[in-house]
Structure formats: C-alpha cells, structure tokens
Amino acid sequence: MTLETYGWTQHLSDAFEPFRERGLTAARVTLSNRGRYLVQTAEVEIEAYVSGRLRHNAYSSADLPAVGDWVAAKKAEDCSSAVIHEILPRKTRLSRNVAGDRTEEQVVAANVDTVFLVMGLDGDFNLRRMERLLATAWESGALPVVVLNKADVPEDADSLRREVESIAPGVPVLSLSAREDRGIDQLSPYLNRGETVVLIGSSGVGKSTLINRLLGRDAMRTAEVRESDDRGRHTTTHRQMFELPRGGLLIDNPGLREIQLWSTDDALGDTFGEIEALAERCKFGDCSHANEPGCAVLAAVDAGEIEEERLESYQKLQRELDYLEIKQDEGAERAERKKWKSIKKASKQMKRQREK
C-alpha cells in the first residue's frame, strides 16, 4: 500500500512539506460519519478525529474534512488513531446546500476526478432532476458521467438514453444493468489506478448493487425498491471510499432526498449551454426570457428547437441561484463578524493575562 494508490501526487507532496516539518502524517479521508472519520496513511487505515483548533476555526461544515480530503494528521504513539490538524487545498469539491431551510455549504466529496450521476430507468427517471445533478457536477470541477442503471426494466431504454443525451451535450451517457451485470465494463475508463470517482443519485437507483459489481464482492447492503412508486430506502447512511481491484477509488453517498444547489451561473452555462448561447442574441442584455420582445430563447421555444419544460427548468434554477447568492452574502457577513468577535475576545484575554 502506498499513498500513490490513493491519488498522492508530487503536487500534494510539495503542498504537504510544511506539515511534514511539523511531524505530521499525510492521510486521505476514506469515511465520514457524524464527526467520526477513517483515514488512510501510507501504512494503515485508522480512526481519526478533528483537532479542537480545526473545529473551532471552522465557520461551516465545509471547513471540516470530507471523504476524499487529503489531511495532515498526528498519529497516536500506538498508531491506533490520529488527530486531523489541517486540510490540504482541494483540487475539486462536490458541494450542495445542506438539506432544509439553512444556507450552508455541504461538501459531499473532495478531490474527485469523475462524478457518476446515477439515475434509474424506472420510476426514478426524471430529466429535470438530472439537470440539477449536472449543474452540481459541473460546478465541482470534476468530469460528469451519466450512468443510467436498470436498463433491464423499460422496453424503451435506448429512447430514454437519447432523451438524457439531449439535455447533456458533451457528457458521456452510459446505459447498464447492475442487477444483471450488463454493461458494467463501460465504466472501466474512469476507474484507473489513483483516480477517484464519486456516485450521487437518489435512493433506490442501485448504487449499492453497482458498487458490489465493481468490487466483485457484496460489500454494500442492498434493498428492493417499493413496487408502488419505484423508490428505494436509504441503504447507505454515511460516505465511504472503496479501493477497486484494478486500483481506482470509488466514493459512495447516501441517496439524495433533495438536490439543493451550491453553485454559480457558470454551472448553468455548462448545463444549459444552448440556452445561454441563444441568450446572447436577445434584444435586451438583461432578458429574462419570459415575455420580452426580441427574445431569441422564446423564439427557439416557439420554433420547437428548445422544449418549454427545459426553459422552465433553467429559469427555476436561475431564480434559486439568485436567492442563494443573497443568502451566501448574508452568511459571509455573519462569518466575518463572528471571526472578528473571536479575535477581539482572544485579544482581551491575552491583555488580561499580561496585566496579571
């Protein structure tokens, strides 16, 4: 076992040098579950905890380790555990807004090369949800790949695949059946030694079955979907990294009940490229593509070149991102006030200590 197996590079080694001089050890986070971590060092996988200083300085959960992070840790003398002191800069980060009403970034996985967007070709099939997944993946900086599982279920699997291809130009769209072990080899080009793939999708899409096929063993518990609505239960409850037989790394996630974006307009440009290209030809620069005269996007809808549902999806996500930007700005202001309040408090404590 070497760190290179887990994606260690010379760039990471150079970035780690200051921590090496402090006697810390390089490790990669392989499991995250409610504040408990497993990290892989060059020698062993051990349990780890976040240092008090790192937790205190974290303004949100995004500042704490995520699966896939490279960290600087201090191992116990008996090497039975470790304390995480620093997180190395992330090459990529797959994020979403936390579920519920709060506005806070949640890092689903870090330092991944490819994002498998898994959707079932059954009752789970939903083009609008796939657009959300694509926007999330593009924003991460990693390569999105659509994986349409359960190709054995519908009679028109090829037709459904073409529908997805129409909303995901330039993105590989693969159709397979994990249950029947059919088409799995299509994933091989993305599972090379030292490269990391993360799977995201809703519950019941067959991620656990797919992982078992790729591992060649039953490492993940699986469950049948409900016949009433083709939806599944959450068989994965935490985020975990697996090493594949050929050397690639695979990160599994609990099924996403909701996909709240944590993104920018750039992600929409990648996901809805044809709409944004047409928008440049609109008469008004701030055209909302609602009812303005001279709107090139609405003209394309009227001509049947763009589906009305796709435009509505684009507008809905744009409104969501506009609102998110406002909430992010408010959150940044609160974080800045909290930071200076903490600095002033520490300064007063130091002053009192000097006066004693």
Under 8 Å CB-to-CB from 103, ≥6 apart: which residues? 97, 324, 327, 328, 330, 331
The pair of three-digit structure tokens given for residue 219, joined into one six-digit string: 């490492």
Judge whether residue 235 has pLDDT over 60: no
What does the alpha-carbon distance between residue 132 and residue 350 come to, in Å, rounded to a whole number?
49
Measured CA distances, 288 to 266, 295, 327 (Å) = 17, 9, 21
Q: Classify 160 as helix, strand or coil.
A: helix
Q: Do 264 and 321 touch, CB atoms closer than 8 A?
A: yes
Could you tell me which of 12, 194, 189 has the C-alpha nearest to residue 91?
12
What does the alpha-carbon distance between residue 213 and residue 217 come to, in Å, rounded to a whole number?
7
Quote the CATH superfamily of domain 272-356.
Answer: Probable gtpase engc; domain 3 (1.10.40.50)
Averaged pLDDT, 204-210: 90
Give the Cβ contact number of residue 245 at 10 Å. 10
Overall pTM surpassing 0.85 (yes/no): no
Measured CA distances, 134 to 137, 149, 169, 267 (Å) = 5, 16, 11, 8
Averaged pLDDT, 16-37: 93
Confidence of residue 340 (pLDDT cuts 50, 70, 90): low
Judge whether residue 324 has pLDDT over 50: yes
Give me the half-sphere count of Cα atoms (radius 13 Å) on the Cβ side of residue 269.
7
Mean pLDDT of the chain: 86
Reading phi first (left if > 0) and then psi (alpha if -120 to 50, else beta), residue 23 is in left
Beta strands in 196-297 (DSSP E): 196-200, 239-243, 249-252
Confidence of residue 101 (pLDDT cuts 50, 70, 90): low
Q: Classify 73 as helix, strand or coil.
A: strand
Polymer length in residues for the chain? 356
Q: What is the DSSP letter of 74?
A: E
pLDDT for the residue 66: 95
For the chain, what are the domain ranges? 3-87, 93-252, 272-356
pLDDT for the residue 202: 87
Quote the CATH superfamily of domain 3-87.
Answer: Nucleic acid-binding proteins (2.40.50.140)
What does the alpha-carbon distance between residue 71 and residue 286 come to, in Å, rounded to a whole number?
44
Cα 51 vs. chain centroid, distance in angstroms? 25
Our CA dihedral for 213, 214, 215, 217, rounded to 10 degrees, sits at 10
pLDDT for the residue 188: 94
Averaged pLDDT, 176-204: 93
Judge whether residue 221 has pLDDT over 80: no
Q: Using one digit for the tens of pLDDT, what is the confidence trace for 159-182? A: 999 999 999 999 999 999 999 999
Q: Do 102 and 150 touch, CB atoms closer than 8 A?
A: no
Q: Classify domain 93-252 at the CATH topology level.
A: Rossmann fold (3.40.50)
| Percent of the chain at pLDDT exceeding 90 | 62
Q: Using one digit for the tens of pLDDT, what is the confidence trace for 113-141? A: 999 999 999 988 999 999 989 999 999 99
The pair of three-digit structure tokens given for residue 162, joined into one six-digit string: 């073409």
CA angle 246-6-36, nearest 5°?
120
What does the alpha-carbon distance between residue 170 and residue 153 come to, in Å, rounded to a whole number?
26
